[in-house]
Structure formats: C-alpha cells, structure tokens
Amino acid sequence: MAIRTLFASILLTLSFNVCAQTPEERGLEIAREMDHRNDGFVNSMHDATMTLKNRQGEESVRHFTLKTLEVTGDGDKELGLFDNPPDVRGTAVLTYSHGVEPDDQWIYLPSLKRVKRISSANKSGPFVGSEFAFEDIASWQLDKFDYKYLRDETVDGGDCFVIEFLPKYDNSGYSKQIWFIDKVMYEARKTEYYDRKGDPFKTLFLKDHHQYLGRYWRAHDLLMENHQIGKTTRLLRDNYKFKTTLNEREFTAGALTSVR
C-alpha cells in the first residue's frame, strides 16, 4: 500500500508540475527539445527540385543542391547551388544563420559575375522567385523566437503540439508563425505564417518524413501556399547524406564564384 501511495504521489507531483507551467514555459520546453533532437549531425547535403506555380497553373522547375554545415555556438551555414534551368545555372546562395542578430546572406549571380550581399532588411523578399522567403531558408535557431504552447492537434494522422513562434529578430516579414510539431519526431508537419498586419499569409505543409542515422528526421515533400496571391512552391528533397567531407572553406562568400 505504501508503494502505491508513493507512486500515486509521484504521478500527482509530475502532473502538477506540467499543469503549473505557463504556456510560454511549455512552448519553450518543446522548442528546446526540438533543438536538442537535431544536435550533432555535423553536416549534410541533399538534392532538391523546386516547382513554382502561379495562379493560372503555369509552372517553372528549378534544381539545386543544398549543403549544410553545423556550427557549434551559432547558427548553421547553408550553401545552395542551382544547376537547372539554364537561366539560373551557377547561381549560389550562402547563408550564415544567427540568433537575434541579423543573418548573413550572399548570392552569386553568374550573369553579373559577382557576389552580392543580401541586406538584412530584405530577408522577407522571395528566394529566387519562389514562395519561400530568404528568412525561410535560414536554419531555425532557438533564440530567434519567443514561444507559446497553444494546444494539441492531429495533422496527417500525427499527434502534434501547436506552438506559436514570435520573431525576436528585426525585419521579419511575419508577425508570428504557428508550428504543428509532431510529438514523436519533434519536427514540423505544418507551419502557418501571418503577415506583419497579423493576417494569414502562407502555409507550409511538410510530408514524407524520413529518419537518418537513427535520429534525424527530414521532410522530403514541402509545399508552400501563398494565400494572398494564389501561388505555390513545392520543394522535393532527396539523396540526403550526413557527416560527409564538407568543410569550412566551401562556406565562404569568396568561394561562391568557383563553387560547383
């Protein structure tokens, strides 16, 4: 009987501690766990196909490779290199993600044969004409946002935490984001974006998640819908590789003119 009483007391204490959390504390706890689950991948690279569709249904397709370098104590470094179609072949985009400090981003345009730094005030602009903004392609960093747990909800058959992300960094194109985070993978299944006025702006649907190295989950099928102008961008990712021979020298602005 004493053991049962002790067990019940422990459960009651745990239940009380969860209930005693504020929505902000609960949201931050979930975000921290999501951040922890992605630690230690070192680097990765994958192929991607981006399909842009306008309101009339006309499509354009772009192919690129994305390389990511994990950085201890700061945001990740990401390098995207386009190889198709011919009018964007050789275009390269380099991103150094940070916390509340402005991200550093550069783009190499073969037609101009020069590297251009992207202003921190222009991060809400479209990434190579797609419905993804430049700030969307920067890696998520824990201290970029304040968090608030809203509720639980099921998305595509997966139980999710619904968390409000409030940007803490300057020049965001969003007033808030609502992430639907799968309780098993601790990866988003859906993200809702609201414009600076607080109106619904875009929704990102993430599907076909694969697990790598027994730990890291990556969505292979991403669809961004712009509700205000009726355009969509679908991003299909494949051929993931982790812990490759990527190194710091490849992730510099000076290397963009020769990267292949």
- Three-state SS string over the chain comes to CHHHHHHHHHHHHHHHHHHHCCHHHHHHHHHHHHHHHCCCCCEEEEEEEEEEECCCCCEEEEEEEEEEECCCCCCCEEEEEEEECCCCCCCEEEEECCCCCCCEEEEEECCCCEEEECCHHHCCCECCCCCCEHHHHCCCCHHHEEEEEEEEEEECCEEEEEEEEEECCCCCCCCEEEEEEECCCCCEEEEEEECCCCCEEEEEEEEEEEEECCCEEEEEEEEEEECCCCCEEEEEEEEEEECCCCCHHHCCHHHCCCCC
**Distance between CA atoms of residues 3 and 228, nearest Å:** 60
**Distance between CA atoms of residues 117 and 64, nearest Å:** 20
What pLDDT score does 6 carry?
Answer: 55
241-250 average pLDDT score: 94
Domain boundaries, the chain: 35-255
What pLDDT score does 8 carry?
Answer: 54
> How many whole angstroms from its chain centre is CA 1?
50
Q: Decide if pLDDT at 70 tops 70.
A: yes
Q: State pLDDT tens for residues 102-160.
A: 889 999 998 888 899 988 777 788 888 899 998 998 889 999 999 999 999 999 999 99
What pLDDT score does 1 carry?
Answer: 46
Q: Decide if pLDDT at 67 tops 80.
A: yes
Contact 88, 109 (CB under 8 A): no
What pLDDT score does 35 carry?
Answer: 96
Q: Which CATH class is domain 35-255?
A: mainly beta
**Distance between CA atoms of residues 148 and 178, nearest Å:** 9
200-216 average pLDDT score: 98
23-34 average pLDDT score: 98
Contact 55, 65 (CB under 8 A): no
Contact 84, 93 (CB under 8 A): no
In the block, residue with structure tokens 């988003």:
188
**Distance between CA atoms of residues 195 and 174, nearest Å:** 5
**Distance between CA atoms of residues 107 and 92, nearest Å:** 6
38-42 average pLDDT score: 95
Of 79-88, 98-107, 166-175, 185-194, highest mean pLDDT: 185-194
What pLDDT score does 111 carry?
Answer: 86
